[in-house]
Amino acid sequence: MAAVRGLTKLYGIGLHAIRQNTTLKATTFLQQRAFRVNGALRQQPFDSSAEKPQFPGASAEFIDHLEFILPNVISGIPVYRVMDRQGQIINPSEDPKLPKEMVLNFYQKMTLLNTMDRILYESQRQGRISFYMTNYGEEGTHVGSAAALEPTDLVFGQYREAGVLMYRGFPLDLFMAQCYANADDLGKGRQMPVHYGCKDLNFVTISSPLATQIPQAAGAAYAVKRENTNRVVICYFGEGAASEGDAHAGFNFSATLECPLLFFCRNNGYAISTPTNEQYRGDGIAARGPGYGLMSIRVDGNDVFAVYNATKEARRRAVAENQPFLIEAMTYRIGHHSTSDDSSAYRSVDEVNYWDKQDHPISRLRHYMTARGWWGEDEERAWRKQSRKLVMEAFERAEKRLKPNPELLFTDVYDEMIPPIAKQRDAMWRHVQQYKEHYPLDLYEK
């Protein structure tokens, strides 16, 4: 009898556990289901009696006359700005009223980047590094957006966002190490110059293929959403990259999955040698946003405060509402596309000079600071001298460092080296020993 009672009790415990497990599974399923549909644009209730379109793929009304939608249904998406070209605040209510120390940091980071660009560009021309890409004219888009982010936000760059990484604290020594591919390079000398990356600063390593970062950023933002960690992902790209199919995939995935993602397009006028009038026929990149269901804005990329305000508000809403935003920053690429390009073949010197002298983000911010008595000629001369000294010292240290150990060519692919890779490594060393006069191993770390 005791055995029967024990068996009955055991049955009761098992039944309770099964019921709990079933309830838990049902709850989990409902939570997952809610995660997929909450906040989405749900299908409207079907009403067969109403004389209106019931198609599930669009929200519209019937019309009784033939009409094609014109490419530009409005005169053009306006360009949001805070300062005019003389650094004067246009609408006081839009002034971010940043403290003096923060504005000075903006200016110093922008000018330090400019100085680093000049020195590394010349070093490539002298044959000291193999390749370089400058950021001339686009410094405001870097610093304004970077300042509006949190350090934990994940950054996907294209290849002209060095200022974002610099603002986050990436030191000059590591910029130089990457461009020189020396032993201090975080990438171990495997990438071509300007392909920076830093895990500690949440900056994903740049890759050469155009626009591949856009769908990757959408996936990362979906993961961030599931983690619910109050973070966003920001993805930088140019207007030329927006012509790639990857841009379509990234835009659409982020909108349908409702990801906290900021698409930041630097529309600088040229995709290498292709001007915007040959790149697209619509109203820029921001005009594409509504078609994908993206909240969109166009800003003056040469106005660091406009970039800051737009990015900060987009970040706040992306986190709060779980939705992607598209920011198109209108700017101008003053430098050549890269050291492999000669832009004088497709644009005039007068055009470049206008943007360099009349509408430069650095000079605009300097006007703002000067008007408030925060900056003058003495401070300018001292900082220019100091910033050049800082860059040159890092430059000289990088040149003297050894190259990474050649063994690193074969690591970081598998946890343990597999036989085919070991075979390749051995073949390399045999080749190097046979032709050692062509391989100065004393320049490499042991």
Which pLDDT does position 35 carry in this prediction?
42
What Å distances lie between residue 185 and 91, 108, 174, CA to CA?
45, 25, 6
pLDDT for 251 beyond 50 = yes
As to burial, measured by CB atoms within 10 angstroms (0-12 exposed, 13-18 middle, 19+ buried), residue 17 is exposed
What tokens does 339 get? 């050291």
- Domain-wise residue ranges, the chain: 100-400, 406-443
What Å distances lie between residue 272 and 204, 278, 279, 331, CA to CA?
23, 12, 11, 15
What is the separation, in whole angstroms, between the first and last Cα of the chain? 79
- 208 as an active site residue: the answer is yes
Top mean-pLDDT range of 1-10, 29-38, 40-49, 93-102: 93-102
Q: Which one from 16, 150, 208, 348 is the annotated catalytic residue?
A: 208
- 243 as an active site residue: the answer is no
Contact 291, 256 (CB under 8 A): no
**What is the percent of the chain with per-residue pLDDT over 70, rounded to a whole number?**
88
Q: What is the pTM of this model?
A: 0.88
Q: What is the mean pLDDT of residues 419-425?
A: 96
Q: What is the mean pLDDT of residues 409-424?
A: 94
pLDDT for 7 beyond 50 = no
The band of 43, judged by pLDDT with boundaries at 50, 70 and 90, is low
Which pLDDT does position 1 carry in this prediction?
44
Q: What is the mean pLDDT of residues 24-43?
A: 43
The band of 312, judged by pLDDT with boundaries at 50, 70 and 90, is very high
Q: What is the mean pLDDT of residues 233-259?
A: 98
Which pLDDT does position 52 carry in this prediction?
81
- 145 as an active site residue: the answer is no
Which pLDDT does position 57 carry in this prediction?
82
Which pLDDT does position 48 carry in this prediction?
56
Q: Which of 21-25, 167-171, 414-418 has the lowest mean pLDDT?
A: 21-25
The band of 46, judged by pLDDT with boundaries at 50, 70 and 90, is low
Which pLDDT does position 32 carry in this prediction?
42
CA distance 129 to 123: 6
**CATH match of 100-400 with 3.40.50.720:** no
Contact 197, 170 (CB under 8 A): no
Task: Look at strands 274-275 and 270-271 and give their pairing.
Answer: antiparallel
Which pLDDT does position 89 carry in this prediction?
98
pLDDT for 58 beyond 90 = no
The band of 370, judged by pLDDT with boundaries at 50, 70 and 90, is very high
Q: What is the mean pLDDT of residues 183-196?
A: 97
Which pLDDT does position 217 carry in this prediction?
98
Which pLDDT does position 60 carry in this prediction?
85
Which pLDDT does position 55 carry in this prediction?
84
**What would the pLDDT profile of 313-355 be if each residue is shown by its tens digit?**
999 999 999 999 999 999 999 999 999 999 999 999 999 999 9
**What would the pLDDT profile of 195-235 be if each residue is shown by its tens digit?**
999 999 999 999 999 999 999 999 999 999 999 999 999 99
- 387 as an active site residue: the answer is no
Contact 341, 160 (CB under 8 A): no
pLDDT for 372 beyond 80 = yes
Q: Which one from 337, 343, 360, 387 is the annotated catalytic residue?
A: 337
The band of 358, judged by pLDDT with boundaries at 50, 70 and 90, is very high
Whole-number average pLDDT of the chain: 91
Which pLDDT does position 54 carry in this prediction?
81
**What is the percent of the chain with per-residue pLDDT over 90, rounded to a whole number?**
83
Q: What is the mean pLDDT of residues 284-302?
A: 96
Q: Which one from 16, 122, 340, 351 is the annotated catalytic residue?
A: 122
Q: Which one from 207, 273, 338, 363 is the annotated catalytic residue?
A: 338
